[in-house]
C-alpha cells in the first residue's frame, strides 16, 4: 500500500510535513526562551514520534500512565521521563520501581501525603531514589495542592520520607494565576534554603504565553505535534497547522442538507469542550459535524454551496487529537498523497 | 486472580447476576410479544456474551461493522447475522461476500442506490445472493430513506438488481412516527404484492413501548445487556439493573468537595447525550462526575455527607456502556466479589 487512496475508511492520517513543522516550531520557541521542552507523548502514543521529538531537541518526555512509560522505555525513546499522575497502590508502585531502575531519571508527581508515603515505601523496598515534583492546582481545578504554602509543606514532608528526592514543582496547564502561585512557592522554598531544580508548566495553548512565565524551567506540551480543532479555537494553531485528519467516506445522503460519514465516536470521540460540533471537514469547511453516533457522523450541509455525494471521501480534523490516537491501532503518516509510515499506536488503551 | 479486589484500577467490570437477568428479561418480553430478538453485539463486542444471548433464545445477532461480523463468525456465535450499516467500496464488499459464503444468512441494509448497486455487483461477482432490508429514517434524523414511498421505490429498484433479495425494512430507533411510517410502507408493498418477511426495530429505550409496534417482526436492542446511566434516565432500567461498572481509585482529594479518580475519558468516554455529568458513583450516589480529562475523573462531593479518601475504591456506572466496551481490551465478569471471567473484547476498535 503506497497511496492514501488505498486506505479503507475510516482511517487516521497525519500529514508529515505539517507534523515535522509543528515539532520544529515548538522546539525553536522553547530553545529561544531557554527552557526545556518535555513533550507529552499521550498525544501520539507512538515511540517513533517520541524519537522525532527527542531528535529535534526535547530534553525528555512526559507520560501520563505507567503503561506509556513501559512502552516508551522498551522502545528506548528517552532515558529522562516525567510521569504526571499520582501513582498509588502496590501493583503500580512496583511497576514504577522496575522502571526507575531501568531509566536514567524517572520523576513522579504527587499532590498528597498518601501517595508520597506509598512511593517512599516502595522506593525504600526497591533501594532506589525517586525524584518528585509537587503538583500544584494553579487555576485549572483538577489535581494539585491548592496553595503555595501547601506545596511547600508537602514538599518538606516528602523530603523527610526515605528514598524521595525533591526535584521541583509542576502544574497543568499554565494559566493566569500560575505566575503568582509559582513565584510565591519559589519564595517559600528560597526562604528555607531549598533549591528548586525544576519548575514545570504544561499545555499547548499555554505556548501562546510562554514568555510570560519566566520562572518555568521546562514546558510539557502534547497536542502541538498534531494540533486539532480545539487548538484552532484557542488560537494556538491554524487549520493549516493541523496534521491529523480522519479519512471518512460519505455512506448516505438522506436529505439535501444531510450527509452521513462512516466516522463516529469510535474514531472522533465525543470530546467537545469549548468547540461547536465534532470536527472540521477540510473539503467542506462550511459543513458542520453536527452529531455523532458510534459509527456514524452527521454532516449538516445547509451552508455548503458544493455538497458531497455517496462514495466521496472527506477528511475531518478532530476536536481533540490525543483521544483519537487512543481509538485506533494504526496511524498513517502521509506526504503528498503517499503513505510513508503505518505506525502502530503502541501505547494505545493503556489505562493503568 | 480470583477476587475483584485484586484488579488494578481502572477496570471495567460486569455483574453477572444482573447481566444474566437482563438477558432473560428482554428475551421473555420479545417471546411474549411473539417477535424475534436479534441483539446488537456492538454493546459488548465479546463472542462469549453473544453466545449467552443466543442460548437465551435470540434468533441471531446484529453487527454494525464488518470486523464485528468477522470476529463473531469466527467464534461461531450465530449463523444468522444482520449488518446494519451501508457497506460501500471494493475492499468492504469483498469482505462482505467472503462472510456471506460462510454464514447461513448475512443480511445487509442500505438507504441509497449507490450502495445497492455496489452490493449487487459484488454479489454477482461472488455468485451469492444477498438479502437486504431498506433502512428507514422514522424520526431519528440519521441514516435512512425519508418516506415510505422512497423505501418502496428503493426496494423495487434493488429487487431488479442481480443477486439481491428483498427481505424487508428496518429502522433505528423505534420512535413515535415509526408506526405510521412502517404501516404506510407495508401498505405499499402489500399493494404491489410484495411480501415483507422482516420488519425490524431497534433500541433499548424502545423496549418500553415495544407492544405499540405490532408490525415489527424483530427487535434489535444492545444496551439492555449491561444498561447504563442513559437507560436509567430514559426509564428503560433502574440503577440495580446496571451491570457494567468502572472500578476506579480516588487518587487525589484537592479540596473538601473535590475528589479525583483514575478513570477519565479513556475509560468512561465523553458521551453525555441527555445525561448530566459523566456517570453515577454507586458508593456515593450524591456525587456528581462533573468533569473528565483523559485519565482523570473529577467528582463534585458538595452534596455528599460521607466522602471518599485517597486510596478508596469507587464504582461508576457509565453514561453509555457500548462505548466503554470499546475502550478496554478486557472486561471482567464478577459475581459476589469473585472474578468468574476475564473476557477479551475481541471486536474492540474494529472501525472498518
Cβ separation of A142 and B296 shorter than 8 Å? yes
pLDDT in tens, A218-252: 999 999 999 999 999 999 999 999 999 999 999 99
Give the pairing type, strands A105-110 and A130-136.
Answer: parallel
User: How far apart (Å, rounded) are the C-alpha atoms in residues B230 and B224?
Assistant: 11
Contacts of B294 in chain A (CB under 8 A): 42, 64, 322-323, 326
Q: What is the pLDDT of residue B1?
A: 62
Q: Give the whole-angstrom CA distance, residue B80 versus residue B107.
A: 8
pLDDT at B291 over 70: yes
The answer to whether A229 and A275 have CB atoms below 8 angstroms apart is yes
**Residue numbers of B between 306 and 345 with CB closer than 8 Å to A:** 309-311, 322-323, 326-329
Residue contact B352–A8, C-beta within 8 A: yes
Q: What is the pLDDT of residue B123?
A: 98
Q: pLDDT band at residue B182, thresholds of 50, 70 and 90?
A: very high
> Cis before residue B173, ω within 30 degrees of 0?
yes
C-alpha–C-alpha distance, residues B231 and B321, integer Å = 10
For residue A32, the distance in angstroms to the closest alpha carbon of chain B comes to 31
Burial class (CB in 10 A: 0-12, 13-18, 19+), A268: buried
> In this structure, are strands B244-255 and B258-261 parallel, antiparallel, or unpaired?
antiparallel
The answer to whether the Cβ–Cβ distance between A88 and B42 falls below 8 Å is: no
B115: closest chain A residue by CA: A251
Residue B352 Cα, gap to closest chain A Cα (Å): 6
Asked if the model's pLDDT at residue B304 lies above 70, the reply is yes
Over range A141-157, report the average pLDDT.
98
Tell me B100's DSSP state: H
B85-134 confidence digits (pLDDT tens): 999 999 999 999 999 999 999 999 999 999 999 999 999 999 999 999 99
Say yes or no: B144 contacts chain A, CB-CB below 8 A. Answer: yes
Q: Establish if A86 touches chain B: CB-CB under 8 angstroms.
A: yes
Residue A279: its chain B contacts at CB < 8 A? none
Q: What pLDDT, in 10s, does the model give residues A43-98?
A: 999 999 999 999 999 999 999 999 999 999 999 999 999 999 999 999 999 999 99
Average pLDDT over residues B320-345: 98
A143 touches chain B (CB under 8 A): yes
Instruction: Quote the percentage of chain A above a pLDDT of 70.
Output: 100
Q: Do B349 and A326 touch (CB under 8 A)?
A: no
Q: Shortest CB distance from A111 goes to which of B144, B254, B349?
A: B254
Q: Can you say whether the dihedral through the CA atoms of A322, A109, B314, A147 is positive or negative?
A: negative
What letters, b where the CB count within 10 A reaches 16 and e where it falls short, cover A118-145? bbbebbbebebebbbbbbbbbebebbbb
Check if B89 contacts A (Cβ < 8 Å): yes
The shortest CB-CB distance from B142 to any of A92, A260, A267 is to: A260
Residue B170 and residue B135 in contact, taking contact as beta carbons nearer than 8 Å: yes
pLDDT greater than 70 at residue A132: yes
Grid cell listed for A221: 506540551
Angle at B337 between CA B336 and CA B343, to 5 degrees: 100
Task: Specify the higher pLDDT residue, A148 or B274.
Answer: A148
**Residues B141 and B117: beta-carbon distance below 8 Å:** no
Per-residue pLDDT band for B212 (boundaries 50, 70, 90) equals very high
Mutate to test the interface with A, among B253, B256, B351 (most CBs of A within 10 A): B351
**A343 DSSP β-pair partners:** A331
Name the CA dihedral angle for B158, B160, B162, B165, rounded to a multiple of 10 degrees.
Answer: 60
**Helix, strand, or coil here: B248?**
strand
Residues 228-267 of A with CB under 8 A from B: 249, 251-255, 258, 260, 262-263, 265-267
pLDDT band at A1 (very low <50, low <70, confident <90, very high): low
In angstroms, what CA-CA distances link A246 with A170, B187, B208? 33, 42, 37
pLDDT of residue A301: 98
CB proximity list for A245: less than 8 A, separation 6 or greater: A12, A13, A14, A15, A282, A315, A316, A317
Would you call A45 an interface residue with chain B, using a CB distance cutoff of 8 Å?
Answer: no
Asked if A86 and B251 come within 8 Å (Cβ–Cβ), the reply is yes
Say yes or no for a CB contact (<8 Å) between A254 and B42: no
SS3 (DSSP) at A248: strand
Domains annotated on chain A, with CATH? 4-10+234-344 (2.40.37.20), 16-224 (3.20.20.10)
B115 touches chain A (CB under 8 A): yes
Q: Which residues between 47 and 66 in chain A have a beta carbon less than 8 angstroms from any beta carbon of chain B?
A: 64-65
What is the per-residue burial (b if ≥16 Cβ within 10 Å, else e) of A195-226?
A: ebebbbbbbbbbbeebeebebbbbbbbbbbbb
Amino acid at each position: 500500500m503506497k497511496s492514501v487512496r488505498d486506505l479503507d475508511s475510516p482511517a487516521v492520517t497525519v500529514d508529515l510535513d505539517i507534523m515535522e513543522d509543528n515539532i520544529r516550531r515548538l522546539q525553536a520557541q522553547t530553545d529561544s526562551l531557554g527552557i526545556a521542552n518535555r513533550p507529552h507523548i499521550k498525544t501520539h502514543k507512538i515511540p517513533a514520534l517520541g524519537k522525532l521529538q527527542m531528535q529535534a531537541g526535547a530534553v525528555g518526555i512526559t507520560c501520563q500512565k505507567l503503561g506509556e512509560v513501559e512502552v516508551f522505555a522498551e522502545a528506548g525513546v528517552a532515558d529522562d521521563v516525567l510521569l504526571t499522575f499520582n501513582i498509588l497502590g502496590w501493583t503500580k508502585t512496583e511497576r514504577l520501581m522496575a522502571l526507575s531502575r531501568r531509566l536514567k531519571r524517572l520523576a513522579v508527581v504527587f499532590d498528597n501525603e498518601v501517595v508520597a508515603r506509598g512511593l517512599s515505601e516502595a522506593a525504600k523496598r526497591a533501594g532506589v531514589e525517586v525524584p518528585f515534583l509537587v503538583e500544584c492546582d494553579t487555576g485549572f481545578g483538577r489535581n494539585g495542592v491548592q496553595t503555595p504554602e501547601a506545596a511547600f509543606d508537602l514538599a518538606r514532608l516528602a523530603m523527610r520520607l526515605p528514598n524521595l528526592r525533591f526535584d521541583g514543582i509542576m502544574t497543568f496547564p499554565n494559566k493566569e494565576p500560575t505566575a503568582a502561585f509559582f513565584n510565591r512557592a519559589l519564595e517559600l522554598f528560597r526562604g528555607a534554603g531549598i533549591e528548586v531544580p525544576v519548575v514545570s508548566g504544561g499545555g499547548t495553548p499555554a505556548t501562546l504565553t510562554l514568555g510570560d512565565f519566566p520562572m518555568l524551567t521546562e514546558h510539557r506540551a502534547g497536542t502541538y505535534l498534531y494540533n486539532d480543532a480545539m487548538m484552532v479555537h484557542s488560537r494556538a494553531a491554524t487549520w493549516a497547522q493541523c496534521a491529523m485528519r480522519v479519512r471518512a467516506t460519505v455512506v448516505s445522503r438522506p436529505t439535501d442538507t444531510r450527509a452521513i460519514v462512516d466516522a463516529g465516536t469510535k474514531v472522533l470521540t465525543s470530546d467537545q469542550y469549548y468547540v461547536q460540533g465534532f470536527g472540521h471537514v477540510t473539503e467542506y469547511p462550511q459543513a458542520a459535524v453536527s452529531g455523532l453516533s458510534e459509527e456514524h457522523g452527521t454532516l449538516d450541509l445547509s451552508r455548503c454551496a458544493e455538497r458531497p455525494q455517496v462514495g466521496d471521501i472527506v477528511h475531518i480534523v478532530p476536536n481533540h487529537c490525543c483521544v483519537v490516537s487512543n481509538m485506533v491501532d494504526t496511524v498513517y503518516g502521509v506526504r503528498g498523497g503517499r503513505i510513508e509510515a503505518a505506525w502502530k499506536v503502541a501505547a494505545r488503551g493503556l489505562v493503568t
